[in-house]
Amino acid sequence: MSETAPAASPAAAPPAHPLRAVVLAGGLTFEREVSLSSGTQVVEELTRAGLDAELRDADAELLPGLAAAPADAVFIALHGATGEDGALRAVLDLAGVPYVGSPASACRLAWDKPAAKSVVRSAGVTTPDWVALPHSTFRELGAGAVLDLMVARLGLPLMVKPASGGSALGVQKVGRVEDLPAAMVSCFAYGDTVMVERYVDGVELALAVVDLGDGPRALPAVEIEPASGVFDYTSRYTPGLTEYHAPARVSDEVAERAAALAVQVHEALGLADLSRTDAIVTPDGEVHFLEVNVSPGLTETSMFPMAVEAAGHELGDVLARLLARRAEIAR
């Protein structure tokens, strides 16, 4: 279960006509531009792999377009709520449109970071302690008193992040009590509920999981080394601010432990096809779960493609196999 790369298997014989894939990207979220970059890259990769791939936005034209020209399967490259909270997938289910990725119910769970942490902790996975509260609690009970209790419980430094969302939007490391209120205000710009998490020092890993039909397998871990020490939005998308190492520079034992954790998270949350778990490895080798992404970035500089390459595979081939499998299941 904790193998770190799916074994290579012969590609299926090509169909008489190329598989028709629609790649969904864009949407109306803070992550629209990143999604469009992912979607463009996916279309290019699928085209190189021999598929008939088309990029579409998730707008009012989507459902009529899919009805008029049905796709064999849809690939969701939408980030943020549109692609990850399960709503779009529920609509695709209603329309009978097959898609790559996790079902709507699992996406809803993964999208809610505190809920996902509770589930994986119950499954035996280590994750930093946290408190998640809506904006109304601070307004009604007094922000100062609530923040004091949080610091007393979790200590300093802390990670402040929206309870849902991706691309590290709104995420901040707070080392001083006096900086906490401003971090909370900034975080509330991205959602009504904030999650305050105990900061864990260590090596940050991105752990991709793929299921090509023989069960979920973890790809080689990608080590993330941001110059600032915090892998926030700026560090993710500003060239030169973060170094990546694939495979990660960790011991074989830690790599196996991280791979097992990623697969365990994938299964505990009921995810399907692909996911990316973010984790921290402490100096003593303990792996801590941070969060999971059901629609990982697929741009040229994203970590999921790095993991696929480190496993010795072509991204387009892996994505094509996922699409072909979903199309075959739907037949």
Give the catalytic positions in this structure: 31, 167, 237, 276, 278, 291, 293, 297
Distance CA 305, CA 296 (A): 9
Residues near 237 by Cβ (< 8 Å), separated by ≥ 6? 34, 167
Count other C-beta atoms under 10 Å from residue 189's C-beta: 10
Residues near 172 by Cβ (< 8 Å), separated by ≥ 6? 159, 160, 161, 183, 186, 187, 230, 232
Find the largest Cα–Cα distance for the chain: 67
Give the phi and the psi of residue 213 in degrees, each rounded to 5.
Answer: 120, -10
Element (H, E) at 70: none
Give the residues across from 196 on adjacent strands.
131, 160
Q: Which of 109, 67, 121 is nearest to 261 (CA)?
A: 121
Helix (H, G, I), strand (E, B) or coil at 321: helix
Give the residues across from 52 on adjacent strands.
20
Q: Which of 11, 58, 19 is nearest to 39 (CA)?
A: 58
